[in-house]
Structure 1
């Protein structure tokens, strides 16, 4: 065979191309080519670990939130502020104590987790405090006058009485919870006559047609180691007249006004020496058709014990304006009663029908002044002093 005609056979030639961190291998020969890529490994991944604590005072049974991503818990310890270890367990969403935690206690959670690429360790801590132990609950009875929907005279006052004494430290909070509204704006002032009674009134008598309302909600207030529940009251009234009655122990006369207009004049008899009638600005508290009056109840047995009619109460201490048919000849002439304002039967019947709770009665001419102890003080205390307590 001619040497020049021989087909020369050559070994395949290898060519290497290296760029950066990746190598591409090209193999040539036998009519085939192959490419192989070499990688440096997976990208880095950081472990995520977070602890979330409920805001504010924490419930003893609360779950302390734990979030993990690309990590697992290696160790979790919860301790009190004194270092005592608290038994707990992981639940969906976080950690919870095996038994409810004690109240008013500080806690610290330390969590060590491991994970990520490359693997690393993460330590997180969180602190919280459980709230104060809940107090036992009870209701506080509050009575309010006037009654809801009452139609009253211009001297009506709000009277709130509590079934348990209110300490001075809480009295301001009680007043802050009082909400009053008036259709004819007339700001109300308040006065604590005792630890169980607070009264409210405007500076001057209510205007005609005033519609006033009051609400008081004591729920949640802490009193005597208890948290109050179901302790709220509301009331409202309408002022329907401007009745004013003036009674003089000097002239033995009763004058009845509607606003500034004199409507009627009666002869009366007030208290004799030793049984004086109270003087001051009073209001009608209630009226009743008959009262059995017994002098033994005031420490003088045997003076009287009988039914008395057309009774209009102006005090909680037994002072009435009423009918008296046993000494009519003294009416308009002398003071002979045992403290009440005596009227002729016909005059008493007229006055009884005329009167409504809240009507104003001004009595003058005696040395015995009205007392706040007997529900007589609201209009006898100057406005500056009334608001001061």
Structure 2
């Protein structure tokens, strides 16, 4: 799904998913699996006095039918740990996969095949060497007729700014009842390691960020393992996707204060330039919040002449445009408002700067660089752009459909910028 380039037109607003990167740990997808035996402790070692009994329960249930191709092998263990999981298809071919870090299930490396039979064998062991082995067989469902697509905004050939969230947008609304299942199939790793959480900003958009901006030079690797995942309303995910985001080694940050009508530009936390701006006039105010550069257009056209509901229609050529919201707010060159920049707001919601300053910013920034705007008459609406940073960390955590690990609460320190007027209501979940 590519960025929408139609200037000055609002795109439909796209709500919160979780956790620390759901890392997988290798667990026998390629070695020979053990032969089937009953789920009874072996006599290899006598249980230690007072030790918790070694037990194992496996899902799906034996002979389960119509299972999604995203099916994981669930493992509930007491008194021991999983040693191996071996999954084979009806021809005896092995399926690659790995255990979740929390040991709750084994995840296939690729979606299973539609309408096929599989067998899973799990072996667990306790500290004394006693083992339990259990197998289950199941059949996957046929290919679904209704699917939900997903767009992942991360491309390995690009370098992103430090505020680049992992953004996934869906072609159909994901109801609240399906969001936890979707989140559990979104895997993120960062190098160097940094905590992070998925959070829904609307029924059509989920984003991942940490309590602070990414460290410079971070590599973000994502697997959106969504093919066959139940997405609600009888729909299933259409495909698995992988993405890589390389965060720049240079931190760029822009800060705009409506009170002064000045933009401060920071490079690696050092102030390098201050320049005048003109923001949106009171009838079309700019949005306060920490926004993210979503797209960059050297030249474009802002055209609202075919919008019958707009009483202030216009068509104008624009240079050095950097998109901040789906609703049509940009940083861009506005030579016609230079006399107002630094003094009064005259725009339709954009951040107006001079031609020279627009070129300077365009050459400096990357997609994913943050700009914080404060003191305007409204706050940016959730999902009107990549708005992950426009709320505090604690507020962001509330958007998760999964429980938050205690170690992740209270990590964020920077409060979200506020508007001078009452914020607009959040987008209602579909």
Instruction: Indicate whether the TM-score tops 0.5.
Output: yes
Q: Say whether the 8 Å CA contact 2:301–2:315 is kept in structure 1.
A: yes
Q: Which has the larger radius of gyration?
A: 1
Aligned counterparts of 1:338 and 1:344: Cα–Cα separation in 2:
16
* C-alpha spacing 1:214/1:298, structure 2 compared with 1 (3 Å): farther
Give the secondary structure class of the aligned counterpart of 2:362: helix
| 1:385, distance to aligned residue in structure 2 (A) | 2.4
Distance 1:273 1:58 in 2: 61
- The yes-or-no answer on 1:305 pairing with 2:318 is no
Per-residue Cα deviation, 1:227-266 (whole angstroms, up to 9, x for no partner): 8575101101111021111112211111110122111121
Higher strand share: 1
8 Å contact kept, 1:146–1:157: no
The correspondence of residues 37-56 of structure 1 with structure 2, limited to 5 A, is 56=62
The TM-score, its normalising length taken from structure 2, stands at 0.57
Kindly provide the CA deviation profile for residues 30-78 of structure 1, in whole angstroms up to 9, marking residues without a partner as x.
xxxxxxxxxxxxxxxxxxxxxxxxx93189xxxxxxxxxxxxxxxxxxx
Quote the Cα distance in structure 2 between the aligned partners of 1:57 and 1:375. 46
Matched, 1:137 2:144: yes
Does the aligned pair in 2 maintain the 1:136–1:225 contact within 8 Å? no
Q: Structure 1: how far apart are the matches of 2:327 and 2:235?
A: 35
The answer for the alignment partner of 1:202 in structure 2 is 210
Aligned partners of 1:146 and 1:156 also within 8 Å = no
Which residue of the partner structure matches residue 366 of structure 1?
Answer: 376
> After superposition, where does 1:244-259 map in structure 2 within 5 Å?
244-259=253-268
Structure 1 unaligned residues grouped into runs of 5+: 1-54, 60-129
Equivalent residue for 2:170, pick from 146, 162, 167? 162
Quote the Cα distance in structure 1 between the aligned partners of 2:311 and 2:62: 67
User: Structure 1 residues 373 and 178 mapped into 2: Cα distance closer, same or farther (>3 Å)?
Assistant: closer
Aligned residue among 265, 276, 279 for 2:274: 265
Distance 1:302 1:232, change over 3 A: same
Say if 1:269 and 1:333, in contact at 8 Å, map to a contact too: yes
Q: 2:246 aligns with which of 212, 235, 238?
A: 238
Q: Hey, what does 2:158 align to over in structure 1?
A: 150
1:57 aligned residue? 63
The count of aligned residue pairs is 265
Aligned CA distance change for structure 1 residues 274 and 237 (closer, same or farther; 3 Å): same
Give the aligned partner of residue 191 of structure 1. Answer: 199
Deviations 1:307-332 (A, max 9, x none): 11110111111001111111211112
Structure 2 residues without counterparts, runs of 5 or longer: 1-60, 66-136, 400-430
Query: What is the SS of the residue equivalent to 1:379?
Result: helix
SS at match of 2:390: coil
Cross-structure match for 2:325: 315
Partner residue of 1:348 out of 344, 358, 376: 358
For residues 310 and 287 of structure 2, what CA distance do their matches in structure 1 show? 19
Q: Is the 8 A contact 1:284 1:360 kept in 2?
A: yes
SS of residue in 1 equivalent to 2:394:
helix
CA 1:325–1:224: 2 relative to 1, 3 Å: closer
CA spacing shift, 1:272–1:223, aligned 2, 3 Å: closer
CA distance in 1, matches of 2:151, 2:287: 26
Contact 1:294–1:301 (8 Å) recurs in 2: no
Once the two structures are superposed, residues 109-130 of structure 1 have per-residue CA deviations (whole angstroms, 9 ceiling, x without a partner) of xxxxxxxxxxxxxxxxxxxxx9
Alignment counterpart, residue 340 of structure 2, candidates 330, 338, 351: 330
In the alignment, is the contact (CA less than 8 A) between 1:218 and 1:229 conserved in 2?
A: yes
Q: Does residue 1:388 correspond to 2:394, yes or no?
A: no
Query: Is the CA contact (8 Å cut-off) linking 1:140 and 1:231 kept in structure 2?
Result: no
Q: Using the TM superposition, name which of 260-269 and 214-223 deviates more.
A: 214-223
What is the CA distance between 1:177 and its match in structure 2? 1.4
> Judging changes above 3 Å, is the alpha-carbon distance between structure 1 residues 229 and 356 closer, same or farther for their aligned structure 2 residues?
closer
Match for 1:280 among 279, 282, 289?
289
Correspondence 1:215 to 2:223: yes
Q: Deviations over 1:167-191 (max 9, x none)?
A: 3222111111111111111111111
Question: Equivalent residue for 1:177?
Answer: 185
Q: Could you give the per-residue CA deviations for residues 349-381 of structure 1, whole angstroms, max 9, x where no partner exists?
A: 111111111101011121211111312531122
How has the CA–CA distance of structure 1 residues 299 and 290 changed in structure 2, closer, same or farther, with 3 Å as cutoff? farther
Deviation of residue 303 (structure 1)?
A: 4.7
Note the C-alpha offset of 1:134: 3.7
Task: Check 1:306–1:188 CA distance in 2 against 1; reply closer, same or farther (3 A cut).
Answer: same
